[in-house]
A = this chain, B = another copy of it.
Amino acid sequence: MVLGERGGWDKNESRYCGVETEYGADMPNLLSFNISSASFDFILAPLMDPTYRPSLMEENKAASCVPPFAGSDLVLSPSQWSSHVVGKISSWIDLDSEDETLRKDSETTLKQEIAWATHLSVQACLLPSPKGTSCANYARCVNQILQGTSNIQLWLRIPLVKTDDDSMDLSADHLDDSWELWNSFRLLCEHHSQLSVALDVLSSLPSANSLGRWFGESVRAAIIHTDSFLTNARGYPCLSKRHQKLINGFFNHSIQIVISGKPVHKLPKACMDSAANQVINNNKNAQHPLGSYLEYVGYLYQKMDPLPEQERFELGYRDVLQSPLQPLMDNLEAQTYETFEKDTMKYIQYQRAICKALLDRVPDEEASTFDIVLMVVGAGRGPLVRASLQAAEETGRKLKVYAVEKNPNAVVTLHSLVKLEGWENVVTIVSCDMRHWDAPEKADILVSELLGSFGDNELSPECLDGAQRFLKQDGISIPSSYTSFIQPLTASKIHNDVKSHKDVAHFETAYVVKLHNVARLAPSQPVFTFTHPDHSTMKSNQRYKKLKFKMPSDTGSAIVHGFAGYFDATLYKDVHLGIEPSTTTPNMFSWFTIFFPLRTPICIRPDSPLEVHFWRCCGSNKVWYEWCVASPCPSPIHNSNGRSYWVGL
C-alpha cells in the first residue's frame, strides 16, 4: 500500500514506506498487512541470527559449513523477497575493531550475509554504521563486494549527526559530523553507484545548511525512530516542524521513509476504533503496531502541494545530462522551435523591453511620422517579430522590421507567417547569417535572443559583434547585457553519470541539466559580462574570472562535484530575464541549468574557501571554456585548448 497519490507523480520511490524489524519477526504475517489499508510496503529484516559468530562455530567444530541462517528461502515467495524485503546486515559487525577475531568474524559474516541476500534476490541490503571514526577495512570489504559481480544495492546506515563547530574539539576522536564518515567511506569505494546512504533520523536535527548537503548525496532511505516523534493533543504521534520540513525534502528527493523502534505512543482506544479506515476492516490484527506512525507519514505525504504542471512535465529531465545546443553550427529542428515558442513568459519580457525602447527612441509627438528600423537577428520562426509588432501597436510607434535568420528551414515558416498575418508591408525577411549580411540601412533597435544557459555559451557575443555593423551609433541592443553565474554543487548522481563514460572528455564537457538531486553549497557569483553594443576599439570576447566561494559556517564539510551555471540578461533598462536562482524569471522554461563537472570531486570546509577560475577562450573557429579549482587543492585545468568541449563559430 503506498502512502498516497500525488498528481502525475506516480513514479516517486518515496511513496513506499518501510518498517525495521528484529531477527525472528514473522515476515509472512508482516507482509500480509499489505492487503490492509494502513500497511508498510517493505520490511528491513535481519537475515541472520545475531548471536552467530564464525569463530565460535569453528571452536565448536559443529557443522561449520552450514551457516545458521534465519530460515529457509521458502519463508517468502521470490517476488516477496525481491520487492518487499531489504536485508539488514548484522549490526554487531565491526571491521575496524582493534580485536582481530571480531574483525575476521565481521568480514566472514558480512560476505556470507551478502551472498545469502543475493541468493534471495533481495534488491538492497542495509549496512550497519561504521563503529568508530575509521572505516578503511570496512570500506575495503564492501568495495570488494561492489566490485564483484553482484548487482545488489548497499545502503550504508549513517546517523544524522553534526555537532556545532563551536563545541567541536578537533583532537577528540569522536564523531562530530557523520557526513565525514560517509565521505571517507564513499571515497574509499570510489563513488560506487551501488553504494548509497540510509540516514538515521534522530530527535534532534543539525542545522538546515548541514541537512541540505544530503540532498546532493545518494540517499535512498531515511529511518525515523519512534522516539523522534512528538505527541499531538489527541495522543497521536506527530513530528516537529523541522522534522516535517525534512521529511518533505525526502519525499521530494525520492527518499523512502522507514519507521523503526517500538511503539511509544499509547493511542486512545476510542480513537483507534473510530478511525475511518478501521471501520471497513474488522480484522483486529490488521493494524500494525506502528500503524499510527505510518498513518502520520502518509498524512504528510498527502498534504504536500501538488507539483505544478511544468514541473510534472520536466520530471523526466531531472538530473539527466544533455549536450548544450549549438544553434550556430547546427540548424535547430522544428520541434525545438515549437518548445521554445511556448515559453510565453520570455516573449512577454521581450515585448516589455521593446515597448520601453520604442517609447525612449521616439517621443509621442513624432510617433506617427518616425519609422523605427528594428531588426530581429536570429528571427527563427518569428516569435520576436510578433513581440516587436505587438510592442509597436501597444506604444503606437511605427516600425520597419527586418527579420534576419540563417536557418533556411525556419525562413520557409517565416515567409508563410508574414503572409498569414498580413505583415508584408512591415516585415522584410532576410535569409542570411547576421555576421555576413550586407544591410541596406542601419537599425535603431537590434533584437536578439541568442542566449544559452550560461549566457554567452551559444556565442551571442560573436554574433552580435557581427550584427553591430548595421546598428546606428546610438542604436539600442535588446538585450543590452548579460552575465553568467556559477555556484558549487554536490551532485553525486550527475557525477556518477559523467564517470560512467570512463574518459576524461566527459568530465571536461558542460551539460544542460534540470538539477534536482543536488546541494547548492554557496550563493552563486557572477562570472562573465557582455554589453551590447560595444564600440570600444580593443574589444575582445575572451574573459577570465577568479571566484572565491565560502560555505555557511554551519554547513560542515562538503564535496564539490562541479558547478551549476546560470545567466541573467538585462533586456532593456529594468526589464531582465534569467535563470540565476535568486533573481530567476518565474514560469520560464526555455533554459535548464548548465553544469561544469570536476574530474576529481573536491572536499571543502567552511574555513577554507573554494577558489575557482573560469576562462572564456576564443580561437579562429571555436570558443570554449576552461576551468579549475586553485584552492584548497589545485585541480587540473579542465578542457585545455577546448580539447573536450567547444562551441563552433
B-binding residues in A (CB < 8 A): 58, 103-104, 134, 136-137, 139-140, 143-144, 146-148, 183-184, 187-190, 538, 540, 544, 546, 600, 603, 613, 615, 626, 628, 630, 633-637, 640-641, 643
Contacts and interface: CB of A to CB of B under 8 A. Distances in A.
Given A136-B546, A140-B615, A140-B628, A641 B148 contact: yes
A630 B544 contact: no
A497 to B, nearest CB: 18
B637 A188 contact: yes
Nearest to A542: B104
Given A147-B640, A147-B641, A148-B641, A634 B140 contact: no
A637 B135 CA distance: 12
Contact of A626 (B140, B613, B634): B140
Contacts of A603: 633
A146 B643 CA distance: 12
B136 A640 contact: no
Contacts of A139: 637
A203 B183 CA distance: 46
Nearest to A103: B544
A104, A628, A640 pick with most chain B CB within 10 angstroms: A640
Nearest to A58: B538
Contacts of A643: 147
24 contacts: A104-B540, A134-B546, A134-B630, A136-B630, A137-B613, A137-B615, A140-B615, A143-B637, A143-B640, A144-B641, A147-B640, A147-B643, A148-B641, A184-B634, A187-B633, A187-B635, A187-B636, A188-B628, A188-B630, A188-B634, A188-B635, A188-B636, A189-B636, A603-B633
B187 A634 contact: yes
Contacts of A188: 628, 630, 634-637
Contact of A544 (B137, B189, B615): B137
Contacts of A146: 640
Given A136-B634, A143-B640, A183-B634, 15 more contacts: A58-B538, A134-B546, A136-B546, A136-B613, A137-B615, A139-B637, A140-B626, A140-B628, A143-B637, A147-B640, A147-B643, A187-B634, A188-B628, A188-B635, A190-B637
Contacts of A613: 136-137, 140
B184 A637 contact: no
Contacts of A136: 546, 613, 628, 630, 634, 637
Nearest to A613: B136
A136, A148, A187 pick with most chain B CB within 10 angstroms: A136
A634 B600 CA distance: 12
A144 B640 contact: yes
B147 A636 contact: no
A37 to B, nearest CB: 46
Nearest to A184: B634
A183 B633 CA distance: 10
A143 B628 CA distance: 12
Nearest to A135: B630
A577 to B, nearest CB: 29
A467 to B, nearest CB: 25
Contacts of A103: 544
